Amino acid sequence: MANSPTGDSVISRVVRILESFDRQRSHLSQTALARRADLPLSTAQRLTVELIRAGMLERTDTGELRPGLRLWELALRSSRALSLREIALPFMNDVLSTVKQHTTLAVLEGGSVLYVERLSAPESPLDYAHIAQRMPIHACSSGIALMAHQPSDVQEDFLAGSLSPVTRATPTDPAALRRLFAEVRARGYVAPAGVGVAEWTGVAVPVWGPSGVVAALNAIVPTVGADVSRVVPALVTAAHGIGRVLRDEMGRMRS
């Protein structure tokens, strides 16, 4: 129900407040929060008080605002990402121990790629693809691997949209992306160099669930000297393992 001059509902304004925080801005002053949420300061202050009372926001020692632990707790109580992560983690650990590079698990969500888990390799010089981070579908190997297995009408809707480059190597031509989609389906993996960050190459494979591809498993390797042939078998083995457990879980639920 809207009760503002702009017609925004209370829920939409609360969502804008919560979405104002990201990895670069994990703490915000009240004024900065109102500005990022595009709300009048008085409205933001009133909603902030209620969100603090509910545990969704909290104040730091310096008086800035940040997401509260209650928000994290509720998000993890019942989430498809949570069960997927729990199943995938042992297999991701196997990949990490083999390739010694950052290993991620990603899903399609809301028109972008959402990373739901990352295991870090201390010896890797790369630092990217954090948990809860989003990337454009066409600017990361996980997104390409996931979109390659979507229905053709979903692919064409995606290709008809805005495809802005993130690096010089980001594919923005629909024909080039169709070729990458075909490569994933034919080879079982994709490894485009530098499409999201010039310094790294993401090697991604699809994870098949009981009714289709549910996630992408990815290892991030330095673009210079990347040995894709060593990474792919570890990812494929792990993806098969995750898929097997997902199918077993579904079978148990149906029995």
Residues belonging to the chain? 255
Amino acid at 75: A
Residue 16: inside a domain: yes
Residue 2: inside a domain: no
CATH code of residue 196: 3.30.450.40
Q: Which two tokens stand for residue 199?
A: 């310094």
User: Which residues partner with 222 through β-bridges?
Assistant: 200
For the chain, the 3-state helix, strand and coil shares in percent, each to the nearest 5, are 45, 20, 35
| Among candidate residues 40, 57, 74, the one where a domain is terminated | 74
CATH code of residue 56: 1.10.10.10
> Do 62 and 89 sit in the same domain of this protein?
no
pLDDT, tens digit (0-9, with 9 covering 90-100), for 74-132: 766 655 666 888 899 999 999 999 998 899 999 998 899 988 888 988 766 666 545 55
User: In angstroms, what CA-CA distances link 170 with 27, 84, 135, 194, 198?
Assistant: 31, 28, 12, 7, 9
> Do 85 and 197 sit in the same domain of this protein?
yes
Sheet of strand 200-209, all strands in order from the earlier edge strand to the far edge:
134-135, 112-119, 103-109, 212-222, 200-209
Closest C-alpha among 111, 142, 110, 116 to residue 130: 116
pLDDT, tens digit (0-9, with 9 covering 90-100), for 1-34: 445 555 678 899 998 998 888 767 888 999 999 9
> Do 84 and 192 sit in the same domain of this protein?
yes
How much is the pLDDT for 238?
Answer: 97
Residue 184 has pLDDT above 80, yes or no: yes
> Do 69 and 112 sit in the same domain of this protein?
no
Range of 49's domain? 10-74
- Across the chain, what does the average pLDDT equal? 87
Structural domain total, the chain: 2
